[in-house]
Amino acid sequence: MTLKRIAIFFISLLMLTSTSLVYCQTMDEMWDSATSAKENPNLKWFREAKFGLFIHWGLYSQIAGTWKDKNYYGSGEWIMNQAKIPVKEYEKVAADFNPVNFNANEWAQLAKDAGIKYMVITAKHHDGFAMYDSKVSDFNIVKATPFKKDPMKALAAATAKRGIYFGFYYSQFQDWHEPNGGRNTWDFEESKKNYKAYYRQKAIPQLKELLTNYGPLGIVWFDTPGGLTKEETQNLVDSLHALQPKSLFSSRVGQGLGDYKDFGDSEVPPIPIEGAWESIYTHNDSWGYIKHDLNFKSSREIIQLLANVASKGGNLMLNIGPDGKGNIPPYSVQFLKETGKWLSKNGESIYGTTYGFVPEQPWGVTTSKPGKLFLHVFKKPPDGKLFVPGFTNEIAKVYSLANKKTIVFTRKGKDIYVNIPLDEDAHPDEV
Ligand code: JFZ
């Protein structure tokens, strides 16, 4: 006979409070988790990680959202396309790009302090500029800028030192710098493009450099596929996996050949999704640095987003956009550190969890681990009685995760009412 006992935790910081129910897993549930863990052993770390840091950094960070006195909004990394900047003019930006304040150890330490488990950074975005030492194209940070160094080398080392999985974003199809690359139609005529030549001459050799020269990569994050058949994509995937068999490829490699699924930008599925997947969000409203975009998400918003994504079974990869000098925006530093502080007390309710079996409620969301259900309380019910419906297991204990204090509850059949301490965790800004 299976013992079905449950304990509830209660997690808190700011207004995000969580409670956990501890219970024992049934045999059926155990078989389920055993089979899914066998799927692809390379995904194990990714599924447990839950929190990644995305970094968009390139020549566009130097432009910072303003071109010829006009301010652009939205995606700073798209400014070459938005302002239809000719290749020859865009190339000149490299002469001013000197990120002297870049400090790989500081960046990696911030990620560590924020509770981040993996980092993915733009090695080459759609503008075609390589942020690493590439022998394939001179349009790169070592050859074309006064900085002359390879920041990716330093970052690969700094993340490895801290046990953070490291990965590259690489725009495999769009390359606005190359006549044969995808999507630059303001300099180059679409009908004359030879995508295969571009893949052969630039994208594939550069990807091989990235998969050879930077140690083991956790992820290669492809983006916006195009110009290849399914068979050609399969060949690309195979030839790259041969270099790093353990590295995960994002779903945007195309043709359904990725190792895990990425949702559209800033998208969380409404109900739990099985399998390995990731939601991507950016900290303000742009992926690449825009100096006039200060619409940063507070740590409270980040924490709730992280919990919400985890409650549907996925990972959150949150993006930041360092500036042209190599500084991470101060709000990103502050809010990431605050998020890390919350995770240091409440990480058990996020890392290594999967979705909770109690669906989203007016008060918040749930995550779970074998024998435990975590109640993430975003909004306390006014009467202090948290309603948890449809709960069949026996409850061993209900307690606050942050301070381990036991919490009183009552149950009526399958309905649980948890007495949330109203006085605790009150926030002066509670609206
Ligand atoms: C792409 C890029 O174009 C963008 O600059 C940024 O790097 C972002 C992370 O990825 O934009 C996309 C790609 C796919 C979708 C939306 C935006 N999508 O599938 O919804």
* Mean pLDDT for all residues in the chain: 90
What pLDDT is recorded for position 407? 92
Q: List the strands of the sheet with 385-388, edge to edge.
A: 385-388, 415-419, 409-412
- Intervals of CATH 3.20.20.80 along the chain: 27-347
Ligand 1 cavity residues, CB under 6 Å: 75, 77-78, 223-224, 264-265, 280, 287
Tell whether the model's pLDDT for residue 26 goes beyond 60.
Answer: no
Q: How far is the C-alpha of 426 from the C-alpha of 431, rounded, in Å?
A: 11
Q: Report pLDDT digits (tens) over 105-150.
A: 999 999 999 999 999 999 999 999 999 999 999 999 999 999 999 9
Choose one of 56, 173, 223, 253 to mutate for the ligand 1 pocket test, by most ligand atoms within 8 angstroms of C-beta.
Answer: 223
Report how far Cα 8 is from the mean position of its chain's Cα atoms.
28
What's the CA-to-centroid distance between 252 and ligand 1, angstroms? 9
| Type of residue at 312 | K
Nearest CA to ligand 1 atom 10: 223
Tell whether the model's pLDDT for residue 425 goes beyond 60.
Answer: no
**CATH of region 27-347:** 3.20.20.80
Q: How much of the chain exceeds pLDDT 70, in percent?
A: 89
- The CB density around residue 215, as the number of other CB atoms within 10 Å, is 12
What's the CA-to-centroid distance between 228 and ligand 1, angstroms? 18
Residue predicted with more confidence, 187 or 19: 187
What's the CA-to-centroid distance between 265 and ligand 1, angstroms? 6
What pLDDT is recorded for position 3? 32
What element of type H or E holds 59?
helix 59-63
What's the CA-to-centroid distance between 287 and ligand 1, angstroms? 9
Say if residues 267 and 255 touch (Cβ distance below 8 Å). no
Q: Report pLDDT digits (tens) over 37-84.
A: 347 899 999 999 999 999 999 999 999 999 999 999 999 999 999 999
- Could you tell me which of 280, 281, 290, 278 has the C-alpha nearest to residue 321? 290
Q: Report pLDDT digits (tens) over 159-205.
A: 999 999 999 999 999 999 999 999 999 999 999 999 999 999 999 99
Q: How far is the C-alpha of 234 from the C-alpha of 254, rounded, in Å?
A: 9
